[in-house]
Amino acid sequence: MDPALLNRMNRSLRVEIIPLGRVDEVAGAVVAANIQEFLGFPTTLASPQPVPEEAHLPGRNQYDAGWILKQLRRGLDPRALRLGVTTRDLALPILTYVFGEALVGGRAAVVSVFRLGTEPGQPRKDLGRLYERLAKVALHETAHALGVPHCRRSGCLMRFSYGLDHLDTLEIAFCPACREEIARRTGALTGINYAGTPEPTDSNPSPVPGRQRPS
């Protein structure tokens, strides 16, 4: 693809990053910087919003990531993705916990730093490793929100992660096929195809949300 066209496509899509509750400012900055660096999308860091208490799962002291995603989609600009960042422990009713979750193609995602820090039994948090893991999860879920599915290629950031050990083995990089899919999905959402002409409009342009196993 023509680099100038790819840049124009990317600049036409914006990612809104919303801290949910009290979130370390550095965490938000790390997420924004990595999305701009590896996806090429402009980012805006919004003012913090409270974690919706309606998402609380009684008896588990966790928050329903799916419910939060529905809230994040409200009032979302057609050419924007929205990413929530929280310190709360996220889960789904059928899963014990998730590092992050996205509506695949639904333009909304949420990630949590709750389980990305030092493993049990280790004395101190390694903030460098925590932020690196957060960047990986945020990029992975943002690509899901754009519509990119999981990848089977070893090392690709879109590969399903079974835990922190596996997450740590992944590079902060997408394989060529996933990069191509990211470009294709970006073009479809921004109305710019590979030839640089407007995509045909649809009477219902919003993607149908899908459920993907979290990373």
Hey, which residues are catalytic here?
141
DSSP-H helix ranges across the chain: 3-11, 25-38, 65-72, 127-146, 164-169, 176-190
Distance, in Å, from the CA atom of 20 to the CA atom of 85, rounded to the nearest integer, reads: 6
DSSP-H helix ranges across 12-120: 25-38, 65-72
Separation of first and last alpha carbons in the chain:
29
Mutual orientation of helices 176-190 and 127-146 as an angle, nearest 10°? 60
Q: How far is CA 190 from the centre of its chain?
A: 18
Query: CB burial class (10 A; 0-12, 13-18, 19+) of residue 182?
Result: buried
